[in-house]
Structure 1
Amino acid sequence: MQEFIGTGVALITPFKEDLSVDFDALVKLVNFNIENGTDYLVINGTTGESATISKEERKQIIDVIAKANNKRLPLVLGIGGNNTLEVVKDIKNTDLSNIDGILSVAPYYSKPTQEGFYQHFKAIAEATEKPIILYNVPGRTAKNMDVSTTIRLAKDFKNVVGVKEAGNNTQQYLELLRDKPADFLIISGDDDLALGVTLAGGSGVISVIGQAFPKEFSTMINCGLEGKNKEGYAIHFKMMEIIDLIFAENNPAGIKAVLQELNISSDYVRLPLVPASEELQSKITKFVNQF
């Protein structure tokens, strides 16, 4: 799955003041990333505020991104949830003709056993021939998917091609890298650990901050893929502060504040999220102006 190696970005969904989707800003963001080194685009992830996007809006968002992208980069679509039957139905009823892969989050709120995780993703893998990237993010789902479960899925289903691991757990990353099948992708979902994971044998990142600084972030990840640790960490050290800032309150309010500072999109978010506080915005403004 060469198309999912390098820097993927979890695109925000830009909103206008009335909280309708700002499709012009979305096209601007897509082109900005394509022109500055991003390797693939992820639609309708957590950062895209998928929890507050209607199915009709999602369809429009996919169509607008696909048209703007014009087959230049691979597209990954987030389809997941904690109702397995509904997720399977959603996959079967979604037009995936412009989509190269599916990112599916581990079931949240329900806190299944490891066998429950396995059976959930088994049903998803059997519902489509599209490549599937598992998404383990215990900070949001309230339950960790163990290494053994991920590896079991990787071995049992040929279309389960990778995992976006976002537990901020270095030990778990290393166990995945040690135990994975040869062609299975370990993708960092933690911007702060992405370089280290890539240097250790990972396949790159699905990044939040990468969409605001695609040139720098993709260069850093390419250094990781090429084993150039000194050059990679020189960029990482420059970006440490902004990575901390964008997650200081909530995601995507932080990254939206950065993108507003870069004149790409506004900082509007849908409730229950609220925009970054004035204090955080001033820190972000200062960083962007000095970067």
Structure 2
Amino acid sequence: MQKFIGTGVALVTPFKKDCSVDVDALKRIVDYVTEGGVEYLVVLGTTAESATLSNEEKEIVIKTIVEANNKRLPLVLGVGGNNTAKVIEELKTRDLSAFDAILSVSPYYNKPTQEGIYQHFKAVAEASPLPVILYNVPGRTASNMLPATVIRLANDFENVIAIKEAAGDIVQAMKLIQNKPKGFLVISGDDMITLPMVLAGGAGVISVIGEGFPKEFSEMVRLGLQRKVDEAYALHYKLADSIDMIFEQGNPGGIKEVFKSLGLSENTVRLPLVNVNEDLANRLNNFTKSIQ
């Protein structure tokens, strides 16, 4: 799965001031990140505020991105949830022909055991016509998919090809890298520790900051993969403050403020999320101007 080595970006869903989907802005963002050098696009992940999108709106987002991408980059679709039967139904009924893989989050809120997580993804793997990228994000799901469970899934199912590892734990990431089967990809889901993970043997990142500053962040990842450590860390430290800022008051409020500064979209988010405050907006705007 060489197409998923490097930088993928978890695309936002831009909204107009009335909270409707801004199709034109979404097209601009797809062009912006593509021209910035990222390797692939992730559609309808958490950053897309997919939890607040209707089924009709999800179809609009998918159609817009597929058309704007025009087969330039590989596409990954978020298909996950805490109702296993519903996830399987979506895999069986949704048109996945434009996509190269699915990204499926570990079940949230239910807090399943490791065996429950394994059985959930066993069902997903058996139902999916596409390669599956697992997604571990304990800060959102309230349960941690342990390395042993991930490795078990990777060994048992050929179409489980990667994990987006967002526990924020470099030691856990290193255990995954150490014990994974050949060809399985460990992808960072945490922008701040992306470079250390890449240097430890990770395959890259599915990023949020990478869609705000695609040129710099994707180049940092490529330099890391090439083992050009000093050059890579120079870019890491250039962007480090912005990584803290975009998550300071929640995602995607921070990155949408960056897009507003760049003139790509409004900063509108849907409840229960709210915009970042004026202080953070000013700091993000100043940082964005300093990078350009």
Which TM-score band applies after superposition, normalised by the shorter structure? over 0.9
How far apart, CA to CA, are the structure 1 residues paired with 2:118 and 2:277? 40
| Aligned residue in 2 for 1:152 | 152
| Aligned residue in 1 for 2:289 | 289
| Aligned residue in 1 for 2:269 | 269
Q: For 1:126-167, what per-residue CA distance to the aligned partner results, in whole angstroms no more than 9, with x for missing partners?
A: 002201000000000000000000000000000000000001
| Aligned residue in 2 for 1:34 | 34
- TM alignment of 1:1-291, pairs within 5 A: 1-291=1-291
Query: Where does structure 1 differ by over 4 angstroms across 4 or more consecutive aligned residues?
Result: none
How far apart, CA to CA, are the structure 2 residues paired with 1:274 and 1:188? 26
The alignment's TM-score, normalised by the length of structure 2, stands at: 0.99
How far apart, CA to CA, are the structure 2 residues paired with 1:156 and 1:234? 40
How far apart, CA to CA, are the structure 1 residues paired with 2:257 and 2:71? 29
How far apart, CA to CA, are the structure 2 residues paired with 1:181 and 1:53? 36
Q: Classify the secondary structure of the residue corresponding to 1:90.
A: helix
Shift of the alpha carbon at 1:268?
0.1
> 2:251 is aligned with what amino acid?
N
Q: Classify the secondary structure of the residue corresponding to 1:247.
A: helix
Shift of the alpha carbon at 1:195?
0.8
How far apart, CA to CA, are the structure 1 residues paired with 2:86 and 2:36? 37
Of all paired residues, the percent bearing the same amino acid is 57
Which consecutive unaligned segments of at least 5 residues does structure 1 have?
none
Q: Classify the secondary structure of the residue corresponding to 2:154.
A: helix
> 2:273 is aligned with what amino acid?
L
Q: Classify the secondary structure of the residue corresponding to 1:71.
A: coil
How far apart, CA to CA, are the structure 2 residues paired with 1:223 and 1:52? 37
Paired residues in the alignment total: 291
> 1:138 is aligned with what amino acid?
P
> 1:82 is aligned with what amino acid?
N
Q: Classify the secondary structure of the residue corresponding to 1:104.
A: strand
Which consecutive unaligned segments of at least 5 residues does structure 2 have?
none
How far apart, CA to CA, are the structure 2 residues paired with 1:41 and 1:4? 10
Q: Classify the secondary structure of the residue corresponding to 1:163.
A: strand
The alignment's TM-score, normalised by the length of structure 1, stands at: 0.99
How far apart, CA to CA, are the structure 2 residues paired with 1:59 and 1:207? 23
How far apart, CA to CA, are the structure 2 residues paired with 1:108 and 1:191? 21
How far apart, CA to CA, are the structure 1 residues paired with 2:39 and 2:164? 15
Shift of the alpha carbon at 1:39?
0.3
How far apart, CA to CA, are the structure 1 residues paired with 2:204 and 2:276? 28
Shift of the alpha carbon at 1:56?
1.2
Q: Classify the secondary structure of the residue corresponding to 1:193.
A: helix
Shift of the alpha carbon at 1:176?
0.3
Shift of the alpha carbon at 1:219?
0.4
